[in-house]
Amino acid sequence: MRTIVVGGAQMGPIQKADSRVQIVERMIVLLDEARAKGCTLVTYPELALTTFFPRWYMEDQAEVDAWFEREMPGRETQPLFDRAREHGIAISFGYAELTPEELHYNTSILTDREGSIVAKYRKVHLPGHSEFDPDRDFQHLEKRYFLPGDLGFPVTRTLGGIFGMCICNDRRWPETYRVMGLQGVEMVLLGYNTPSVNSQNPTEGPSDRLFQQTGDAVGRLSKLDLGCRYRQSRCRRRFSHDRWQPDGRPQRQGGRRSENGRR
Active site (annotated) includes residue 59: no
Active site residue 123: yes
How many residues in total does the chain contain?
263
H helix or E strand, kind and range, residue 189: strand 187-191
C-alpha torsion angle, residues 88, 93, 95, 100 (rounded to 10): 50
**Marked catalytic residue, from 123, 142, 166, 186:** 123
φ/ψ (deg, to 5) at 241: -120, 65
d(CA 8, CA 46): 12
Burial of 17 (0-12, 13-18, 19+ CB in 10 A): exposed
Rounded to an integer, what distance in angstroms lies between the CA atom of residue 165 and that of residue 117?
13
Torsion sign across C-alpha atoms 29, 164, 184, 8: positive
What is the DSSP-derived secondary structure letter of residue 207? H
Among candidate residues 97, 142, 168, 186, the one labeled active-site is 168
Choosing from 46, 97, 142, 186, the catalytic residue is: 46
Instruction: Decide if 168 is catalytic.
Output: yes
Active-site amino acid positions: 46, 123, 168
